[in-house]
Amino acid sequence: MSDTGTDIMLEVKDKNMSALKCINCVSDRGIKALETEWARYKYSVMERAPDKYHTMRKLLQDKTSYPALECTVRSRNP
């Protein structure tokens, strides 16, 4: 993160999880890192929001992209 000049301050209940989400969004750690995180939550998401579950599955099917960065860039440039 030192090369991006980004300073992030989190005010959340679960600092560890939020910090990991931030790291995934500001650095390209590879698709495997995203798949590992997705494996932790996919069944919970499937139960509560099947449409979001299917959207995430589609995002992670392309092994050459890094959807966390793509979504971050899209949200910054509406």
Question: What is the pLDDT tens value at each position of the chain, 78 positions in all?
Answer: 446 666 767 677 777 777 887 777 777 788 888 888 889 889 999 999 999 999 888 888 888 877 766 554 444 444
> What are the domain boundaries of the chain?
30-76
Tokens of 20: 């990991």
Looking at residue 71, what is its pLDDT? 52
pLDDT of 78 reads: 47
Residue that is written with structure tokens 């939550």 in the block? 41
21: tokens are 């989400």
Alpha carbon distance 70, 7 (integer Å): 20
